[in-house]
Amino acid sequence: MSLAAEQARGGYCVSHPLDRPVWNALTGRQARLAIASGKAVRIDPAYGPFAVAQDMGEEAQAALLATLRDPEDRIAVIEREPWPAPGGTRLAGEGELVQMVFEGVMPDADDPRIVLLGEGDAGEMAGLAGGTEPGPWSSMTHRYGDYYGIRIGGRLAAMAGERMLLPGLAEVSGVCAWPEYRGQGLATLLMHRVMRGFAARGDRPFLHCYAWNTGAIRLYEALGFRLRARMALTILALA
């Protein structure tokens, strides 16, 4: 049955866990992070804005509406196609993402400058993310999993870590560097370190990137990532 036909009857047709990354993460390996469950799931906003309904049926869409707390609140849905706004909500933003999966050779070299970041680094990590905007960042985003950084002159110059976890898959996320430290290969070194951690536990790396960010896409392709799908980012708010 076609996707359009599934939509018309309130269902949703998918063939791979990565087609519905938020749903599969929050009903699977990261269900502990969900503050809403059932016909719709939403991650604890301290980690990020992600939410999604089980399908496009009336009951599931009403459950998605219920995850919004107040007029200033926003939820972000990542699916293969733009998500229709449930009654009582409005479209607050949208964008196209590319979803890429690692198909290269995992490097085994390390760099002595790389350090594992922790709670004591949370403020600097938030500052770096806020200043470079690698993606959504909230007060506990750094707790998704291991984050690694490189300091130059005592300053956190660059970092990378992980976000969504799916069966046999882990998302590389939070890859960023201050502008004055770009072009030095720091992002590559840090991504390699994050990905080696994934490989050690049997996870294949994947990532999402804004489709307009051609510079980042070229970097990811050079590292061995290949385009799997184009995804739709839908941001919803109360009407």
Give mean pLDDT, residues 177-197: 96
Q: pTM of the predicted model, to two decimals? A: 0.91
Give mean pLDDT, residues 208-236: 96
Residue 177: its H or E element: strand 169-177
pLDDT value, residue 1: 35
- Hey, what are 154's tokens? 């005592």
User: Over pLDDT 70: what percentage of the chain?
Assistant: 94
pLDDT of 115 higher than 80: yes
Residue type present at position 168: G
Coil, strand, or helix at residue 3? helix
What end-to-end distance do the CA atoms of the chain give, in Å?
33
- Higher pLDDT among residues 106 and 92, named by residue: 92
pLDDT value, residue 44: 98
Give mean pLDDT, residues 92-104: 98
pLDDT value, residue 109: 78
Give mean pLDDT, residues 205-224: 96
pLDDT value, residue 15: 73
Give mean pLDDT, residues 195-213: 96
Residue type present at position 184: Q
The domain made up of 3-96+233-238 has a fold known as Aminopeptidase (3.40.630)
Alpha carbon of 16 to those of 5, 69, 71, 218, 228: distances in Å? 18, 31, 34, 25, 11
Cβ 123 vs Cβ 154: under 8 Å:
no
**Domain 104-223 sits in CATH 3.40.630.30:** yes
pLDDT of 220 higher than 70: yes
Give mean pLDDT, residues 131-140: 95
pLDDT of 64 higher than 50: yes
Confidence of residue 149 (pLDDT cuts 50, 70, 90): very high
pLDDT of 146 higher than 90: yes
What tens digit of pLDDT does each residue of 11-52 get?
Answer: 444 579 999 999 999 999 999 999 988 999 999 999 999 999
CATH 3.40.630.30 residue ranges of the chain are 3-96+233-238, 104-223
pLDDT value, residue 9: 42
pLDDT of 6 higher than 90: no
